[in-house]
Structure 1
Amino acid sequence: MTSEADGQSIVSRFLRRQRSLSGRLVFVAAIWSVLSLAVAGFILVELYKSASERSFDAQLDVYVKLILAEIVPDPAAGNDAGISAPENLDDPRFSLPLSGWYWTVAKADGTTVLFASSSLVGDPLSVPPLGDQESQSTFSVGPGSEEIRVVQKRIGIAGQDYVIIVAAKTAGFRADIREFAQQVILTLVVFGAGLVGAVFLQVRIGLRPLARLRSSLGEVRRGEAEELDEDLPVELAPLAVELNALIHSNREIVERSRTHVGNLAHGLKTPLSVITNEARTETGPFADKVSEQAAVMSTQIQHHLERARMAAQRRVIGVSCEVEPVLGRLVRAMSKIYRERDVGLADAPPAGLHFRGEQQDLEELTGNLLDNACKWARSSVSVNVSLLQSGETARELFQIVVEDDGPGLSESECREAVKRGKRLDETVPGTGLGLSIVADLAGLYGGYLELDRSNLGGLRARLVLPSV
């Protein structure tokens, strides 16, 4: 029970680690094939062994009958005549000393051996007792400690019971079985390898439509196609149709969300602008408080509308953009705006790297980080892009690291900096929404933003995003 449970545990652990469907199918088929062929091979060898034993026993039984025919007394000699010694068995092996072929004739009580073959050269033939049985076929140990096959038969002659015993060494018999077993193993190994190969081809060919579906889905995710290819087998075609319907429905929902966000922006910003303008025409504590709260409301509205717009764009299926052109344009723009700063890419982004999302979102993410770094940097800003490996989620991720040589932030200030509307220095222009928008948008895309100390002495902003 323990070994069986251990075997099941090993198979279960392998299947949990094996993420490939074809790998699972081939592994299970291979295990089943090996077990089935092993059982089949064992059964074949046992059947051959049983057949060989019956054939061997039949051969020995022929000599038992020949001996019986030789020892039966001649009826013409009278009923009181005793048995006579066998004279001719037509097999010289019974005459050669220790040839491995032997016979004896003894009384049924086993106390007296009446006749024995010359091959025994006087050695006794040790065999299991016959008991109450009329005949028996067993294995025993003969002269020279060789294994022998023994056939015994009880006969009654003239009122006296005798036992005829014929034995032969099993070396040739065992050699035939071993040779047959080797041939069976070789044949089943070749057959098993061919069977596993055939299963592998069957799985590869049978799952090829799934590979096509995966490739088609990848094209949609990369923005290279508008919908999935529906030219698939009847089992998969309905899935492709439903996915295409989901994609179209998703786009319609996103468009409606964008329209609602735009309408809400116009509906709120215009009355708020009127309130702010009216407050500016007045003086006094009340007007100041209205202006202050209107500014707070404007900041909150801007943040939540921007977040809603991002969330709507995040749900678009099949949207992607190349990273290198976006970063290149932003670096060049920041270099012109902040001429006194040295803004540059430490290394060129990996060739063909695509962000799984809207181009304008990538521009806003990296633009906010670059703008924040340029505001606080003393002389230089460095940007680095590299791929990441995620063993837990198996997603493709990349990181954008922006570093500056400014004053930097402490751990507590890093936590405060990503809170919406939080400005750590009121002397620098801005709304305080830049880093919070980056953190929120990165989270919507399944990424994140980390802030810590840079090797340049200032702030190090590490932005992790999904790639295609």
Structure 2
Amino acid sequence: MTSHDPAAAPPQHRRRPPLSLSFRLFVLAATWTAIALATALYVLIAYYRASVERGFDSLLDLHLFNVVAAIQQDEAGHPVGAPQLGDPRFSAFQSGWYWQVIRLGEGRDELLVSPSLSGARLLLPRIEDVPFGADFQRVMDIDGPGGRRLRAIEQLVVFGDTGDRLSFTVTGDLGEVEQEIATFRNLVLAVFGLLGVGLVAATLLQVHIGLKPLRDVRAALGAIRQGRATRLEGDYPAEIAPLTREINALIESNAKIIERARTQVGNLAHALKTPLAVITNEARAASSPLGAKVAEQAGLMRHQIDYYLDRARVAATAGVAVSVTEVGPVAESFARAMRRIYADRGTTLDVDVPAGLRFQGERQDLEELIGNLVDNAFKWARSRVVLTCRLLPGSDPDGRPMLGITVEDDGPGLTEEECAQAVRRGRRLDETQPGSGLGLSIVRDLADLYGGAFALARSDLGGLRATLHLPAA
């Protein structure tokens, strides 16, 4: 990560995170449940409607049979009779339950109706619109007296004695059918609604219980990342057990790689520093311009070796679960040391680090970072240095919390161009101050290796403000 001012960074357009497994499973199960319930509801209501209508038509057909059986012709051929259907609705005024008999003939249609029809006449559709079937019967829906919607069955009967054709019609109120169906539909909707709520709750419970092992794995990984555990422990289902084994194998492999890297770094440091120490001592003992130059260059070589060895060590450990370091004790330790070292200058150091803040990384690296920043601030401060640390929730591009460490002083400060030059390796803006010029560049490189950020800017105290972002544990 290149060095930049975290506060001045342009807003990043984050990709929408993928949907969670819980949400996917719930939506899939809930959608299937809704489709199944809706289909079952439609089929059930349709079947019940067909059953009610069949029963209704059968009842009308029975009444029609009784009406046909009860009607006779007198000597003049007029239809006579009083059917006893056993249903008081055929006697109630405009009840929707009617019967009528018509003697058909050219110009001599004769009418006989039920008491409920009260002398009115049912208007039937034309035969061309609703033709009779092979059994000389037709079924239709019509509008009756009072605006009621009626189901009508008409039967043509030819009397053998006279050869007259008579039309027999019986009707029933379709509103009663619709009311019965509506009552059933409301009941079924209520039952299916409760069933749907129960199924949704069961789905949520099923998803919650089914994904619990994954939450356990996540919690165990969090414990490893925070340094409270070294591997995934516990019994997991067969579907997840291979994953946990592979994660444990990866953690063990990383630990071995880190240990080998530390060993090699230590060996290299011992192999190089011992000859350099001998060269430095011999050069200083020579007491000559050449000896002084050799000693100076050997010191620079030692600084370069320290720099690259630290970089190699951090590169081997950054990004893997190694350790967690409390920020407060490290900051206080450097505060005590700096107060003693610069006691004669009267420079004050204010430390504001809330308890509980932890850095996800090696203590040695945190000491290197804070030490370089605080030491640089003391070199330039006139009277005051301020060290603060805050937790920045979700400030990482991946949404992880970061530590915001700020070191400010009231010294002369730097311009924007000088801030950019100050973090270059070996670049010293003032040769009168002691040092190798590697301090701020080491801070920048360590921050990059840990996935953080480092920036320099003008401080409100009048001097320099160094801002460091590091992963929090």
Please tell me the TM-score bracket, short chain as reference: 0.7 to 0.9
Preserved CA contact (<8 Å) 2:72 2:81: no
Deviates more, 1:291-300 or 1:209-218: 291-300
> Which amino acid is 2:120 matched to?
D
**Cα distance change of structure 1 residues 184 and 287 upon mapping to structure 2, 3 Å threshold:** same
Q: Which structure would you say has the larger RCO, counting Cα contacts within 8 Å and 6 or more residues apart?
A: 2
Q: Partner of 1:119 in structure 2?
A: 116
1:44 paired with 2:48, answer no
- 1:306 partner amino acid: D
Give the CA deviation at 1:46.
1.8
Query: What are the Cα deviations for residues 335-361 of structure 1, in whole angstroms up to 9, with x where unaligned?
Result: 222222110123x42x42221111111
Which one-letter code corresponds to 2:236 in the other structure?
L
Cα gap change, 1:233/1:207 in structure 2, threshold over 3 Å: closer, same or farther? same
Instruction: State the partner residue of 2:375.
Output: 371
Cα distance in 2 between the residues matched to 1:38 and 1:353: 54
Q: 1:107 to 1:461 in 2, by over 3 A?
A: farther
Deviation at 1:63, TM superposition (A): 0.9
**Superposition TM-score, scaled by structure 1 size:** 0.85
2:148 paired residue number = 146
Residue in structure 1 matching 2:421, options 413, 416, 422: 416
Number of the residue aligned with 2:94: 98
> Which residue pairs with 1:10 in the alignment?
none
Q: 1:266 to 1:201 in 2, by over 3 A?
A: same
Q: Is the 8 A contact 2:78 2:110 kept in 1?
A: no
Equivalent residue runs for 1:245-256 within 5 Å = 245-256=249-260
**Matching residue within 176, 180, 191 for 1:176:** 180
Q: TM-score, normalised on structure 2?
A: 0.84
Cα drift, residue 399 of structure 1: 0.9
Q: How has the CA–CA distance of structure 1 residues 152 and 356 changed in structure 2, closer, same or farther, with 3 Å as cutoff?
A: farther
Question: Superposed, which structure 2 residues align to 1:328-339 within 5 Å?
Answer: 328-339=332-343
Q: Secondary structure at the match of 1:446?
A: coil
Task: In structure 1, give the amino acid aligned to 2:112.
Answer: F
Corresponding residue number in structure 1 for 2:463: 458
Counterpart of 1:434 in structure 2 is: 439
* Cα pair distance change 1:114/1:254, threshold 3 Å: same
**8 Å CA contact retained: 1:250, 1:315:** no
Instruction: Give the aligned partner of residue 4 of structure 2.
Output: none
Q: Distance in 2 between matches of 1:143 and 1:117?
A: 13
Aligned counterpart, 1:3: none
5 Å-filtered alignment, 1:202-351, equals 202-270=206-274, 297-339=301-343, 340-346=346-352, 348-349=353-354, 351=355
Over the aligned positions, Cα root-mean-square deviation in angstroms equals 3.0
C-alpha distance 151-421 of structure 1, shift in aligned 2 (>3 A): farther
Change (3 A) 1:329 1:270: closer
Aligned residues: 446
Instruction: Tell me whether 126-135 or 425-434 shows the greater mean CA deviation.
Output: 126-135
* Between 36-45 and 288-297, the greater mean CA deviation after superposition: 288-297
Residue 461 of structure 1: CA displacement? 1.4
- Structure 1 distance, partners of 2:150, 2:305, is 101
Report % sequence identity.
Answer: 47
The CA deviation at 1:18 is 7.0
**Offset, 1:179:** 1.5
Q: Which amino acid aligns with 1:123?
A: A
| Residues 358-402 of structure 1: per-residue CA shift (max 9 Å, x gap) | 111111111111111121111111122212122751212221111
Contact 1:447 1:465 in 2 (8 A): yes
How big is the shift at 1:252?
0.7
Structure 1: runs of 5+ lacking an equivalent? 1-15
Aligned in 2, Cα 1:210/1:321: closer, same or farther, shift over 3 Å? same
Look up the match of 1:89. 85
